[in-house]
Amino acid sequence: MSNEGVENLDAPPPVSAAQKAKILSDPNVAKIAAELGMSVDEFANTVGFYLNNPDTEPGFLVVSDENLRKMGVEPPSAEAIEANVRATVELIKAGTNPSAFQDAKRKTVELEAQGEQLKPTKVDPDLEDTVKKARIPRGS
């Protein structure tokens, strides 16, 4: 089906009787329609429209501040909307910037004395005895 003129529709076009019967066979349709404040026919036509046009995005609805308040929703201020957009942009930027840990050209370890024998370190005999005593359980 063609999507031409869909933007100008007040309601989705009616679907075929067979498709409508298939949609209405679901026992949850009436409950969902009631929760959305739609008639069962309007809900079935909406579902059928999106079934017939799977690439169609749902419409963007603009609601006046007055109608939002009637629905119990306080509309956000222009400053709140701007802050939300700015925060979203910053999060997107942060998610796309590579970290310093991903730098493949950076050497992770440099040894100053490459090729030379490592000098043995002096061992403190008291510390070595303490470690041995702690490793070997004492007999009870």
Mean pLDDT for each 10-residue chunk of the chain (140 residues)? 50 87 92 91 91 83 87 91 92 76 62 62 81 72
Q: Which residue, among 60, 59, 19, has the nearest Cα to 41 in the 3D structure? A: 19
For the whole model, what pTM was predicted?
Answer: 0.39
For 108, which DSSP code?
A: S
Instruction: Tell me the HSE value of 12 on the side-chain side, using a 13 A CA sphere.
Output: 23
Q: At what angle do helices 40-52 and 17-24 cross, to 10 degrees?
A: 110
Q: Which residue, among 132, 140, 5, has the nearest Cα to 59 in the 3D structure? A: 5
